[in-house]
Structure 1
Amino acid sequence: MVRCSNNLVGILNFVVFLLSVPILAGGIWLSQKGSTECERFLDKPVIALGVFLMVVAIAGLIGSCCRVTWLLWTYLFVMFLLILLVFSITVFAFVVTNKGAGETVSGKGYKEYRLGDYSNWLQNRVNDDKNWNKIRSCLVDSKVCSKLEAKLVDVPVTNFYQEHLTALQSGCCKPSDQCGFNYNSATNWTKTAVTHPNQDCQLWDNAPDKLCFDCQSCKAGLLDNVKSAWKKVAVVNIIFLVFLIIVYSVGCCALRNNRRDGSYSRTYGYKP
Protein backbone atom coordinates (compact mmCIF):
# COMPACT_ATOMS: atom_id res chain seq x y z
CA MET A 1 0.00 0.00 0.00
CA VAL A 2 1.34 3.41 -0.90
CA ARG A 3 1.88 5.44 2.21
CA CYS A 4 0.20 8.83 2.52
CA SER A 5 3.36 10.52 3.83
CA ASN A 6 5.40 9.28 0.85
CA ASN A 7 2.79 10.65 -1.55
CA LEU A 8 2.70 13.98 0.28
CA VAL A 9 6.49 14.32 0.20
CA GLY A 10 6.38 13.54 -3.52
CA ILE A 11 3.71 16.16 -4.18
CA LEU A 12 5.49 18.86 -2.15
CA ASN A 13 8.79 18.21 -3.89
CA PHE A 14 7.13 18.21 -7.29
CA VAL A 15 5.82 21.70 -6.47
CA VAL A 16 9.34 22.76 -5.40
CA PHE A 17 10.72 21.34 -8.65
CA LEU A 18 8.21 23.38 -10.67
CA LEU A 19 9.20 26.52 -8.73
CA SER A 20 12.91 25.89 -9.36
CA VAL A 21 12.43 25.98 -13.15
CA PRO A 22 11.47 29.70 -13.45
CA ILE A 23 14.11 30.61 -10.83
CA LEU A 24 16.82 28.86 -12.85
CA ALA A 25 15.49 30.35 -16.09
CA GLY A 26 15.49 33.82 -14.52
CA GLY A 27 19.12 33.46 -13.48
CA ILE A 28 20.16 32.34 -16.96
CA TRP A 29 18.20 35.24 -18.48
CA LEU A 30 19.98 37.72 -16.19
CA SER A 31 23.38 36.33 -17.17
CA GLN A 32 22.55 36.74 -20.86
CA LYS A 33 20.36 39.85 -20.94
CA GLY A 34 21.42 41.88 -17.89
CA SER A 35 22.18 45.37 -19.11
CA THR A 36 24.11 46.57 -16.06
CA GLU A 37 26.72 45.11 -13.72
CA CYS A 38 24.16 45.26 -10.89
CA GLU A 39 21.71 43.05 -12.76
CA ARG A 40 24.41 40.58 -13.80
CA PHE A 41 25.66 40.46 -10.21
CA LEU A 42 22.48 38.59 -9.28
CA ASP A 43 22.70 35.90 -11.95
CA LYS A 44 25.05 33.46 -10.19
CA PRO A 45 23.17 33.40 -6.83
CA VAL A 46 19.83 32.97 -8.65
CA ILE A 47 21.20 30.15 -10.83
CA ALA A 48 22.74 28.46 -7.77
CA LEU A 49 19.42 28.69 -5.90
CA GLY A 50 17.50 27.25 -8.86
CA VAL A 51 19.91 24.32 -9.27
CA PHE A 52 19.93 23.64 -5.51
CA LEU A 53 16.13 23.56 -5.28
CA MET A 54 15.90 21.36 -8.38
CA VAL A 55 18.42 18.80 -7.08
CA VAL A 56 16.85 18.68 -3.60
CA ALA A 57 13.36 18.29 -5.08
CA ILE A 58 14.48 15.45 -7.36
CA ALA A 59 16.16 13.71 -4.42
CA GLY A 60 12.98 14.03 -2.37
CA LEU A 61 10.82 12.75 -5.23
CA ILE A 62 12.95 9.69 -5.95
CA GLY A 63 13.60 8.96 -2.27
CA SER A 64 9.92 9.02 -1.31
CA CYS A 65 8.17 7.68 -4.40
CA CYS A 66 10.74 5.02 -5.36
CA ARG A 67 11.49 4.08 -1.74
CA VAL A 68 15.24 4.81 -2.05
CA THR A 69 16.07 5.03 1.64
CA TRP A 70 19.66 6.33 1.38
CA LEU A 71 18.54 9.12 -0.95
CA LEU A 72 15.76 10.06 1.46
CA TRP A 73 18.33 10.12 4.28
CA THR A 74 20.45 12.53 2.24
CA TYR A 75 17.40 14.63 1.41
CA LEU A 76 16.41 14.94 5.08
CA PHE A 77 19.98 15.80 6.09
CA VAL A 78 20.09 18.62 3.53
CA MET A 79 16.64 19.79 4.66
CA PHE A 80 17.82 19.88 8.27
CA LEU A 81 20.82 22.01 7.31
CA LEU A 82 18.55 24.28 5.26
CA ILE A 83 16.22 24.75 8.26
CA LEU A 84 19.20 25.74 10.43
CA LEU A 85 20.45 28.11 7.73
CA VAL A 86 17.09 29.84 7.22
CA PHE A 87 16.59 30.13 10.99
CA SER A 88 20.06 31.66 11.45
CA ILE A 89 19.58 34.12 8.58
CA THR A 90 16.19 35.18 9.97
CA VAL A 91 17.58 35.83 13.45
CA PHE A 92 20.59 37.65 11.97
CA ALA A 93 18.34 39.86 9.82
CA PHE A 94 16.29 40.94 12.85
CA VAL A 95 19.44 41.63 14.90
CA VAL A 96 21.24 43.82 12.34
CA THR A 97 18.12 45.79 11.38
CA ASN A 98 16.90 46.67 14.87
CA LYS A 99 18.64 50.08 14.77
CA GLY A 100 18.35 53.10 12.53
CA ALA A 101 15.59 55.39 11.29
CA GLY A 102 15.26 58.61 9.36
CA GLU A 103 15.15 61.91 11.27
CA THR A 104 12.24 64.23 10.63
CA VAL A 105 13.31 67.69 9.42
CA SER A 106 11.22 70.59 10.69
CA GLY A 107 8.98 72.01 7.96
CA LYS A 108 10.07 69.44 5.39
CA GLY A 109 8.16 66.53 3.85
CA TYR A 110 11.22 64.26 3.78
CA LYS A 111 13.54 62.75 6.36
CA GLU A 112 17.33 62.80 6.55
CA TYR A 113 19.54 59.85 7.43
CA ARG A 114 22.72 59.45 9.48
CA LEU A 115 25.07 56.50 9.02
CA GLY A 116 25.89 56.26 12.73
CA ASP A 117 22.27 55.36 13.55
CA TYR A 118 22.56 51.92 11.94
CA SER A 119 24.19 48.71 13.19
CA ASN A 120 27.98 48.49 13.14
CA TRP A 121 27.87 45.44 10.88
CA LEU A 122 25.91 47.29 8.20
CA GLN A 123 28.12 50.36 8.57
CA ASN A 124 31.24 48.26 8.00
CA ARG A 125 29.77 46.85 4.78
CA VAL A 126 29.18 50.28 3.19
CA ASN A 127 32.35 51.85 4.60
CA ASP A 128 34.43 49.28 2.74
CA ASP A 129 35.62 51.13 -0.39
CA LYS A 130 35.46 48.04 -2.60
CA ASN A 131 31.85 47.35 -1.61
CA TRP A 132 30.76 50.95 -1.87
CA ASN A 133 32.28 51.48 -5.32
CA LYS A 134 30.12 48.64 -6.65
CA ILE A 135 27.03 49.93 -4.85
CA ARG A 136 27.71 53.47 -6.01
CA SER A 137 27.95 52.27 -9.61
CA CYS A 138 24.60 50.54 -9.24
CA LEU A 139 22.97 53.65 -7.80
CA VAL A 140 24.23 55.77 -10.69
CA ASP A 141 23.08 53.15 -13.22
CA SER A 142 19.63 53.03 -11.63
CA LYS A 143 19.23 56.78 -12.38
CA VAL A 144 17.52 57.32 -9.04
CA CYS A 145 18.54 60.99 -9.04
CA SER A 146 17.97 61.59 -12.74
CA LYS A 147 14.40 60.38 -12.33
CA LEU A 148 13.91 62.71 -9.37
CA GLU A 149 15.23 65.66 -11.39
CA ALA A 150 12.89 64.83 -14.28
CA LYS A 151 9.92 64.47 -11.94
CA LEU A 152 10.51 67.79 -10.18
CA VAL A 153 11.68 69.91 -13.12
CA ASP A 154 10.89 73.61 -12.61
CA VAL A 155 9.40 72.92 -9.17
CA PRO A 156 9.96 75.90 -6.80
CA VAL A 157 11.91 75.40 -3.59
CA THR A 158 8.81 75.59 -1.37
CA ASN A 159 7.23 72.70 -3.26
CA PHE A 160 10.47 70.72 -3.22
CA TYR A 161 10.68 70.96 0.57
CA GLN A 162 7.24 69.38 0.84
CA GLU A 163 8.14 66.38 -1.33
CA HIS A 164 8.12 62.95 0.33
CA LEU A 165 11.50 61.75 -0.88
CA THR A 166 12.66 58.16 -0.55
CA ALA A 167 15.66 57.37 1.65
CA LEU A 168 17.93 57.12 -1.40
CA GLN A 169 16.61 60.33 -2.95
CA SER A 170 17.06 62.23 0.31
CA GLY A 171 20.51 60.82 1.06
CA CYS A 172 22.08 60.69 -2.41
CA CYS A 173 20.37 63.29 -4.62
CA LYS A 174 20.44 66.44 -2.48
CA PRO A 175 22.75 68.00 0.11
CA SER A 176 21.89 67.89 3.79
CA ASP A 177 19.70 70.73 5.10
CA GLN A 178 22.57 71.55 7.48
CA CYS A 179 24.63 72.73 4.51
CA GLY A 180 22.34 75.69 3.82
CA PHE A 181 22.97 75.56 0.06
CA ASN A 182 20.86 77.61 -2.35
CA TYR A 183 18.29 75.63 -4.34
CA ASN A 184 18.39 75.70 -8.14
CA SER A 185 16.65 72.39 -8.87
CA ALA A 186 16.15 69.04 -7.20
CA THR A 187 19.73 67.93 -7.95
CA ASN A 188 21.42 71.28 -8.52
CA TRP A 189 22.44 73.46 -5.58
CA THR A 190 24.79 76.44 -5.19
CA LYS A 191 27.34 76.05 -2.41
CA THR A 192 27.77 78.84 0.13
CA ALA A 193 31.07 80.15 1.46
CA VAL A 194 30.27 79.07 5.02
CA THR A 195 32.37 76.25 6.53
CA HIS A 196 30.10 73.39 7.53
CA PRO A 197 30.78 70.83 10.29
CA ASN A 198 28.98 68.19 8.22
CA GLN A 199 31.61 66.66 5.90
CA ASP A 200 28.93 65.72 3.39
CA CYS A 201 28.63 69.40 2.50
CA GLN A 202 32.18 69.39 1.13
CA LEU A 203 31.51 66.25 -0.92
CA TRP A 204 28.47 67.63 -2.73
CA ASP A 205 28.93 68.06 -6.50
CA ASN A 206 26.29 69.07 -9.06
CA ALA A 207 27.64 66.59 -11.65
CA PRO A 208 24.92 63.94 -12.26
CA ASP A 209 27.36 61.07 -11.62
CA LYS A 210 28.65 62.60 -8.37
CA LEU A 211 25.99 64.57 -6.45
CA CYS A 212 26.08 63.09 -2.92
CA PHE A 213 26.86 59.49 -3.93
CA ASP A 214 30.02 59.58 -1.80
CA CYS A 215 28.25 61.11 1.21
CA GLN A 216 27.59 59.40 4.53
CA SER A 217 23.93 60.34 4.08
CA CYS A 218 23.78 58.32 0.84
CA LYS A 219 25.20 55.26 2.61
CA ALA A 220 22.66 55.79 5.40
CA GLY A 221 19.83 56.07 2.87
CA LEU A 222 20.90 52.80 1.30
CA LEU A 223 21.01 51.10 4.72
CA ASP A 224 17.50 52.34 5.46
CA ASN A 225 16.35 50.64 2.25
CA VAL A 226 18.27 47.50 3.21
CA LYS A 227 16.69 47.55 6.67
CA SER A 228 13.16 47.74 5.24
CA ALA A 229 13.86 45.03 2.66
CA TRP A 230 15.48 42.68 5.19
CA LYS A 231 12.56 42.97 7.58
CA LYS A 232 10.21 41.94 4.78
CA VAL A 233 12.53 39.08 3.83
CA ALA A 234 12.66 37.97 7.49
CA VAL A 235 8.85 37.70 7.57
CA VAL A 236 8.91 35.64 4.35
CA ASN A 237 11.67 33.50 5.86
CA ILE A 238 9.49 32.71 8.87
CA ILE A 239 6.72 31.46 6.57
CA PHE A 240 9.28 29.50 4.53
CA LEU A 241 10.74 28.05 7.74
CA VAL A 242 7.33 26.75 8.84
CA PHE A 243 6.91 25.16 5.39
CA LEU A 244 10.35 23.53 5.63
CA ILE A 245 9.60 22.12 9.08
CA ILE A 246 6.33 20.62 7.83
CA VAL A 247 8.07 19.07 4.81
CA TYR A 248 10.87 17.77 7.03
CA SER A 249 8.39 16.21 9.46
CA VAL A 250 6.48 14.50 6.65
CA GLY A 251 9.79 13.37 5.17
CA CYS A 252 10.73 11.74 8.48
CA CYS A 253 7.45 9.79 8.34
CA ALA A 254 8.23 8.73 4.77
CA LEU A 255 11.69 7.55 5.85
CA ARG A 256 10.17 5.52 8.66
CA ASN A 257 7.76 3.97 6.15
CA ASN A 258 10.66 3.11 3.83
CA ARG A 259 12.56 1.41 6.63
CA ARG A 260 9.45 -0.47 7.78
CA ASP A 261 8.70 -1.60 4.21
CA GLY A 262 12.31 -2.68 3.82
CA SER A 263 11.98 -4.76 6.99
CA TYR A 264 8.80 -6.42 5.63
CA SER A 265 10.55 -7.12 2.33
CA ARG A 266 13.47 -8.85 4.01
CA THR A 267 11.16 -10.86 6.29
CA TYR A 268 8.38 -11.85 3.91
CA GLY A 269 9.93 -11.34 0.52
CA TYR A 270 7.52 -8.62 -0.64
CA LYS A 271 6.60 -4.99 0.03
CA PRO A 272 3.12 -4.20 1.38
Structure 2
Amino acid sequence: MFRLSNNLIGILNIATFLLSVPVLGAGIWLANRADTDCEKFLEKPVIALGVFLMAVSIAGLVGACCRVSWLLWLYLLVMFLLILLLFAFTVFTFVVTNKGAGKAVSGKGYKEYKLGDYSDWLQKRVNGTKNWNKIKSCLIDSKVCNAYAEKYSKDTVVNDFYNEHLSALQSGCCKPPDSCNFTYVSPLVWTASSTTTYTDSDCNAWSNNSTVLCYNCQSCKAGLLDNLKGDWKKVAIVNVIILVVLIVVYSVGCSAFRNSREDNAFWKGRNP
Protein backbone atom coordinates (compact mmCIF):
# COMPACT_ATOMS: atom_id res chain seq x y z
CA MET A 1 0.00 0.00 0.00
CA PHE A 2 1.19 3.50 -0.77
CA ARG A 3 2.05 5.62 2.20
CA LEU A 4 0.70 9.10 2.85
CA SER A 5 3.87 10.94 1.74
CA ASN A 6 3.87 9.12 -1.62
CA ASN A 7 0.24 10.05 -2.18
CA LEU A 8 0.91 13.68 -1.26
CA ILE A 9 3.88 13.91 -3.64
CA GLY A 10 1.76 12.34 -6.38
CA ILE A 11 -1.08 14.86 -5.87
CA LEU A 12 1.30 17.83 -5.70
CA ASN A 13 3.05 16.81 -8.90
CA ILE A 14 -0.23 16.26 -10.75
CA ALA A 15 -1.14 19.84 -9.80
CA THR A 16 2.31 21.05 -10.95
CA PHE A 17 1.96 19.18 -14.26
CA LEU A 18 -1.46 20.73 -14.88
CA LEU A 19 0.05 24.16 -14.11
CA SER A 20 2.91 23.59 -16.55
CA VAL A 21 0.55 23.02 -19.50
CA PRO A 22 -0.88 26.60 -19.68
CA VAL A 23 2.58 28.06 -18.89
CA LEU A 24 4.14 26.16 -21.80
CA GLY A 25 1.15 27.01 -24.00
CA ALA A 26 1.58 30.72 -23.20
CA GLY A 27 5.26 30.54 -24.14
CA ILE A 28 4.49 28.85 -27.48
CA TRP A 29 1.73 31.38 -28.16
CA LEU A 30 4.16 34.26 -27.50
CA ALA A 31 6.75 32.66 -29.78
CA ASN A 32 4.23 32.55 -32.62
CA ARG A 33 2.60 35.93 -32.00
CA ALA A 34 5.45 38.10 -30.66
CA ASP A 35 5.76 41.37 -32.54
CA THR A 36 7.61 43.58 -30.07
CA ASP A 37 10.93 43.25 -28.25
CA CYS A 38 9.02 43.03 -24.95
CA GLU A 39 7.09 39.96 -26.04
CA LYS A 40 10.15 38.36 -27.63
CA PHE A 41 12.05 38.87 -24.39
CA LEU A 42 9.38 36.95 -22.46
CA GLU A 43 8.84 33.94 -24.73
CA LYS A 44 12.04 31.95 -23.98
CA PRO A 45 11.87 32.22 -20.17
CA VAL A 46 8.18 31.25 -20.22
CA ILE A 47 8.81 28.19 -22.44
CA ALA A 48 11.81 27.18 -20.28
CA LEU A 49 9.71 27.48 -17.11
CA GLY A 50 6.90 25.40 -18.63
CA VAL A 51 9.27 22.63 -19.74
CA PHE A 52 11.05 22.66 -16.38
CA LEU A 53 7.80 22.38 -14.38
CA MET A 54 6.56 19.58 -16.64
CA ALA A 55 9.79 17.56 -16.41
CA VAL A 56 10.10 17.93 -12.63
CA SER A 57 6.45 17.05 -12.02
CA ILE A 58 6.70 13.91 -14.21
CA ALA A 59 9.86 12.82 -12.39
CA GLY A 60 8.24 13.33 -9.00
CA LEU A 61 4.98 11.66 -10.02
CA VAL A 62 6.59 8.56 -11.56
CA GLY A 63 9.13 8.31 -8.75
CA ALA A 64 6.50 8.46 -5.99
CA CYS A 65 3.78 6.37 -7.59
CA CYS A 66 5.97 3.70 -9.20
CA ARG A 67 8.56 3.47 -6.41
CA VAL A 68 11.39 4.51 -8.79
CA SER A 69 14.01 5.56 -6.26
CA TRP A 70 16.47 7.12 -8.68
CA LEU A 71 13.77 9.38 -10.16
CA LEU A 72 12.77 10.50 -6.68
CA TRP A 73 16.42 11.11 -5.86
CA LEU A 74 16.74 13.27 -9.00
CA TYR A 75 13.51 15.06 -8.10
CA LEU A 76 14.80 15.83 -4.60
CA LEU A 77 18.14 17.04 -5.95
CA VAL A 78 16.40 19.46 -8.31
CA MET A 79 14.13 20.62 -5.48
CA PHE A 80 17.11 21.18 -3.20
CA LEU A 81 18.93 23.22 -5.86
CA LEU A 82 15.74 25.19 -6.55
CA ILE A 83 15.40 26.02 -2.85
CA LEU A 84 19.02 27.21 -2.71
CA LEU A 85 18.63 29.34 -5.85
CA LEU A 86 15.35 30.83 -4.69
CA PHE A 87 16.81 31.63 -1.28
CA ALA A 88 19.87 33.30 -2.87
CA PHE A 89 17.69 35.26 -5.30
CA THR A 90 15.40 36.43 -2.49
CA VAL A 91 18.32 37.69 -0.41
CA PHE A 92 19.86 39.34 -3.49
CA THR A 93 16.54 41.04 -4.30
CA PHE A 94 16.27 42.58 -0.84
CA VAL A 95 19.89 43.79 -1.04
CA VAL A 96 19.74 45.48 -4.47
CA THR A 97 16.36 47.12 -3.80
CA ASN A 98 17.37 48.49 -0.42
CA LYS A 99 18.62 51.80 -1.87
CA GLY A 100 16.76 54.46 -3.82
CA ALA A 101 13.54 56.42 -3.55
CA GLY A 102 11.82 59.32 -5.24
CA LYS A 103 12.28 62.77 -3.75
CA ALA A 104 9.27 64.95 -3.05
CA VAL A 105 9.18 68.27 -4.89
CA SER A 106 7.94 71.29 -2.93
CA GLY A 107 4.41 72.30 -3.89
CA LYS A 108 3.95 69.43 -6.35
CA GLY A 109 2.03 66.18 -6.13
CA TYR A 110 4.68 64.02 -7.76
CA LYS A 111 8.27 63.01 -7.02
CA GLU A 112 11.49 63.37 -8.98
CA TYR A 113 13.88 60.45 -9.50
CA LYS A 114 17.70 60.42 -9.69
CA LEU A 115 19.58 57.45 -11.12
CA GLY A 116 22.48 57.81 -8.68
CA ASP A 117 20.19 57.09 -5.72
CA TYR A 118 19.80 53.43 -6.69
CA SER A 119 22.17 50.48 -6.23
CA ASP A 120 25.19 50.24 -8.53
CA TRP A 121 24.05 46.82 -9.79
CA LEU A 122 20.68 48.18 -10.92
CA GLN A 123 22.32 51.24 -12.49
CA LYS A 124 24.58 49.02 -14.59
CA ARG A 125 21.57 47.10 -15.91
CA VAL A 126 20.03 50.26 -17.43
CA ASN A 127 23.16 52.21 -18.34
CA GLY A 128 24.21 49.83 -21.13
CA THR A 129 23.05 51.17 -24.50
CA LYS A 130 21.92 47.76 -25.76
CA ASN A 131 19.89 47.00 -22.62
CA TRP A 132 18.35 50.45 -22.47
CA ASN A 133 17.31 50.40 -26.13
CA LYS A 134 15.34 47.21 -25.49
CA ILE A 135 13.77 48.66 -22.33
CA LYS A 136 12.97 51.91 -24.13
CA SER A 137 11.28 49.93 -26.90
CA CYS A 138 9.12 48.23 -24.28
CA LEU A 139 8.17 51.55 -22.71
CA ILE A 140 7.18 53.00 -26.08
CA ASP A 141 5.24 49.85 -27.03
CA SER A 142 3.35 49.92 -23.73
CA LYS A 143 2.23 53.52 -24.48
CA VAL A 144 3.00 54.69 -20.95
CA CYS A 145 3.25 58.34 -21.97
CA ASN A 146 0.29 58.20 -24.38
CA ALA A 147 -1.97 57.08 -21.54
CA TYR A 148 -0.44 59.76 -19.29
CA ALA A 149 -1.08 62.49 -21.88
CA GLU A 150 -4.69 61.40 -22.30
CA LYS A 151 -5.30 61.24 -18.55
CA TYR A 152 -3.96 64.73 -17.87
CA SER A 153 -5.01 66.40 -21.13
CA LYS A 154 -7.44 68.68 -19.29
CA ASP A 155 -4.61 70.26 -17.29
CA THR A 156 -4.31 73.41 -19.40
CA VAL A 157 -2.91 75.39 -16.47
CA VAL A 158 0.52 74.38 -15.17
CA ASN A 159 -0.57 74.54 -11.50
CA ASP A 160 -3.26 71.93 -12.21
CA PHE A 161 -0.61 69.66 -13.67
CA TYR A 162 1.74 70.22 -10.72
CA ASN A 163 -0.96 68.91 -8.37
CA GLU A 164 -1.19 65.56 -10.17
CA HIS A 165 0.16 62.37 -8.56
CA LEU A 166 2.33 60.88 -11.29
CA SER A 167 3.81 57.40 -11.26
CA ALA A 168 7.59 56.97 -11.27
CA LEU A 169 7.61 56.17 -15.00
CA GLN A 170 5.34 59.09 -15.85
CA SER A 171 7.44 61.53 -13.85
CA GLY A 172 10.77 60.24 -15.15
CA CYS A 173 9.98 59.48 -18.80
CA CYS A 174 7.02 61.60 -19.91
CA LYS A 175 8.06 65.08 -18.78
CA PRO A 176 11.35 66.96 -18.38
CA PRO A 177 12.86 67.23 -14.88
CA ASP A 178 11.60 70.21 -12.88
CA SER A 179 15.16 71.50 -12.58
CA CYS A 180 15.08 72.36 -16.32
CA ASN A 181 12.38 75.02 -15.68
CA PHE A 182 10.79 74.45 -19.08
CA THR A 183 7.55 76.27 -19.90
CA TYR A 184 4.48 74.04 -19.69
CA VAL A 185 2.23 73.84 -22.75
CA SER A 186 0.62 70.41 -22.28
CA PRO A 187 1.63 67.17 -20.52
CA LEU A 188 3.79 66.16 -23.51
CA VAL A 189 4.80 69.59 -24.78
CA TRP A 190 7.29 71.78 -22.92
CA THR A 191 9.20 74.78 -24.25
CA ALA A 192 12.87 75.22 -23.43
CA SER A 193 14.40 78.65 -22.98
CA SER A 194 16.38 79.77 -26.03
CA THR A 195 18.79 81.78 -23.88
CA THR A 196 19.61 79.16 -21.24
CA THR A 197 22.55 76.77 -21.45
CA TYR A 198 21.54 73.57 -19.71
CA THR A 199 24.15 71.62 -17.77
CA ASP A 200 21.76 68.80 -16.91
CA SER A 201 21.96 66.19 -19.70
CA ASP A 202 18.28 65.36 -19.19
CA CYS A 203 17.30 68.89 -20.24
CA ASN A 204 19.18 68.47 -23.50
CA ALA A 205 17.77 64.95 -24.01
CA TRP A 206 14.13 66.10 -23.80
CA SER A 207 12.12 66.31 -27.03
CA ASN A 208 8.46 67.10 -27.67
CA ASN A 209 8.46 64.23 -30.19
CA SER A 210 6.12 61.60 -28.69
CA THR A 211 8.56 58.80 -29.55
CA VAL A 212 11.48 60.56 -27.84
CA LEU A 213 10.20 62.66 -24.88
CA CYS A 214 12.51 61.86 -21.94
CA TYR A 215 13.08 58.20 -22.80
CA ASN A 216 16.80 58.93 -23.12
CA CYS A 217 16.94 60.77 -19.78
CA GLN A 218 18.64 59.55 -16.62
CA SER A 219 15.40 60.39 -14.82
CA CYS A 220 13.55 57.88 -17.00
CA LYS A 221 16.03 55.15 -16.05
CA ALA A 222 15.60 56.12 -12.40
CA GLY A 223 11.80 56.02 -12.72
CA LEU A 224 12.04 52.55 -14.23
CA LEU A 225 14.30 51.38 -11.38
CA ASP A 226 11.89 52.77 -8.79
CA ASN A 227 9.05 50.91 -10.46
CA LEU A 228 11.22 47.77 -10.67
CA LYS A 229 12.21 48.13 -7.04
CA GLY A 230 8.58 48.05 -5.92
CA ASP A 231 7.82 45.03 -8.11
CA TRP A 232 10.90 43.13 -6.94
CA LYS A 233 10.02 43.67 -3.30
CA LYS A 234 6.60 42.17 -3.93
CA VAL A 235 8.26 39.26 -5.75
CA ALA A 236 10.63 38.77 -2.81
CA ILE A 237 7.70 38.49 -0.40
CA VAL A 238 6.04 35.93 -2.69
CA ASN A 239 9.37 34.09 -2.90
CA VAL A 240 9.47 33.73 0.88
CA ILE A 241 6.04 32.08 0.79
CA ILE A 242 7.11 29.81 -2.09
CA LEU A 243 10.27 28.87 -0.17
CA VAL A 244 8.21 27.73 2.80
CA VAL A 245 5.99 25.63 0.50
CA LEU A 246 9.03 24.14 -1.30
CA ILE A 247 10.67 23.20 2.00
CA VAL A 248 7.48 21.44 3.08
CA VAL A 249 7.24 19.63 -0.28
CA TYR A 250 10.93 18.72 -0.08
CA SER A 251 10.41 17.23 3.40
CA VAL A 252 7.45 15.18 2.15
CA GLY A 253 9.54 14.11 -0.84
CA CYS A 254 12.33 12.90 1.45
CA SER A 255 9.80 10.80 3.31
CA ALA A 256 8.48 9.40 0.01
CA PHE A 257 12.05 8.60 -1.05
CA ARG A 258 12.64 6.62 2.16
CA ASN A 259 9.33 4.82 1.63
CA SER A 260 10.27 3.87 -1.92
CA ARG A 261 13.63 2.47 -0.82
CA GLU A 262 11.99 0.47 1.98
CA ASP A 263 9.29 -0.83 -0.37
CA ASN A 264 11.87 -1.82 -2.98
CA ALA A 265 13.91 -3.60 -0.31
CA PHE A 266 10.75 -5.38 0.91
CA TRP A 267 9.78 -6.64 -2.55
CA LYS A 268 13.33 -7.76 -3.26
CA GLY A 269 13.22 -9.72 -0.02
CA ARG A 270 9.95 -11.35 -1.07
CA ASN A 271 11.34 -12.26 -4.53
CA PRO A 272 14.85 -13.71 -4.08
Summarize the alignment of residues 1-272 of structure 1 with structure 2, pairs less than 5 Å apart. 1-155=1-155, 156-192=157-193, 193-269=195-271
For residues 136 and 271 of structure 2, the distance between their equivalents in structure 1, rounded to whole angstroms, comes to: 68
For residues 268 and 136 of structure 1, the distance between their equivalents in structure 2, rounded to whole angstroms, comes to: 67
For residues 170 and 96 of structure 2, the distance between their equivalents in structure 1, rounded to whole angstroms, comes to: 23
For residues 184 and 260 of structure 1, the distance between their equivalents in structure 2, rounded to whole angstroms, comes to: 78
For residues 226 and 103 of structure 1, the distance between their equivalents in structure 2, rounded to whole angstroms, comes to: 17
Q: Secondary structure at the match of 2:216?
A: coil
Unmatched segments (≥5 aa) in structure 1: none
CA deviation string 1:114-145 (max 9, x = no partner)? 00000000001100111001111111111111
CA deviation string 1:65-91 (max 9, x = no partner)? 010011111111111111111111111
For residues 188 and 104 of structure 1, the distance between their equivalents in structure 2, rounded to whole angstroms, comes to: 23
Q: Relative to structure 2, which stretch is displaced further, 205-214 or 188-197? A: 188-197
Q: Relative to structure 2, which stretch is displaced further, 52-61 or 140-149? A: 140-149
For residues 138 and 52 of structure 1, the distance between their equivalents in structure 2, rounded to whole angstroms, comes to: 27
* TM-score, normalised with respect to structure 2: 0.97
Q: Please tell me the residue identity of whatever aligns with 1:46.
A: V
Q: Please tell me the residue identity of whatever aligns with 1:80.
A: F
Q: Secondary structure at the match of 2:190?
A: strand
How much does 1:195 deviate? Answer: 2.4
How much does 1:40 deviate? Answer: 2.1
How much does 1:105 deviate? Answer: 0.3
How much does 1:39 deviate? Answer: 1.4
For residues 164 and 32 of structure 2, the distance between their equivalents in structure 1, rounded to whole angstroms, comes to: 38
Q: Which runs of 4+ in 1 moved over 6 A?
A: none
Q: Secondary structure at the match of 2:126?
A: helix
For residues 214 and 113 of structure 1, the distance between their equivalents in structure 2, rounded to whole angstroms, comes to: 14
* TM-score, normalised with respect to structure 1: 0.97
For residues 37 and 125 of structure 1, the distance between their equivalents in structure 2, rounded to whole angstroms, comes to: 17
